Amino acid sequence: MKLKIYQIDAFTDVVFKGNYAAVIVLTEWLSTELMQKIASENNLSETAFVKIIGNNSYQIRWFSPLCEIDFCGHATLASAFVLFKEYSQVNKISFFADAVGEFKVSQNNDGLISMIFPSMMPEAIDYIPETLLAGLSIKPLEVLRNKQAYFALYDNEQDVVQLQSNSLALKKLAPFDVVVTSKANINNDYDFVSRYFWPANGGDEDPVTGSIHTGLAPLWAQRLNKNTLKAYQASKRGGVLYCNVVNDKVKISGTAVQYLAGEISL
């Protein structure tokens, strides 16, 4: 069996930046075991498997090297990039995922791809786990949580950039990951910055995480009193996300670039 595979750098317009994802388009699902083996072999942040289910309509599943993921923004952006480029002559498609439901993706004339997701606004918690504090070299000012991750808030961008994580400690927070964030105060091009740690579900630090911005964007929209925001994820690769919050929806937009196209032999 031969499978076409694409590797895409998402939330960037140059290779070797943003977050990498593999994309495989299917007409029938492979077994979950086989998809996990392929994702582990790829050893990228995520491998997205996309199944055609109708006219410009697709079901999508995401796998890290360790496990299947409920929701992944950057691999969705990568998948949409492939579909718009190779499989579709339109500029609007829809995806369906079990944990997210149906959501729309569109591409502008300038290549910017926009995804509309449900808001996942984090909420205050009564108790901050000691393992969270042990896992971050700088103590946060405040901690919130949604169904995906703990949100550790800091006073300035320097703390977010400079802090170090302890993966062994943060792994104990499973199934939750950890995002650290602050208002941007170094580069005025951005409204807020973040970094994302997910040792329980994928790796030590994720380069750019679209899904967590469904929580970050409404959080900072509320605190900065603005609904249109530009975000920077301050990993070593780095990535830029354009966010717009409207009621209970979050539009996350970005660019992508193809690194390779190849073939898997099974």
Residues acting as catalytic residues: 46
Backbone φ, ψ for residue 173 (5° rounding):
-85, 0
What token pair was written down for 82?
């492939």
Q: How many CB atoms lie within 10 A of CB 184?
A: 23
DSSP class per residue in 189-247: T-SEEEEEEETTTTEEEES--TTTHHHHHHHHHHHHT-SEEEEEE-SSS-EEEEEEEET
Backbone φ, ψ for residue 127 (5° rounding):
-140, 130
Beta bridge partners of 124: 144
Coil vs helix vs strand at 213: helix
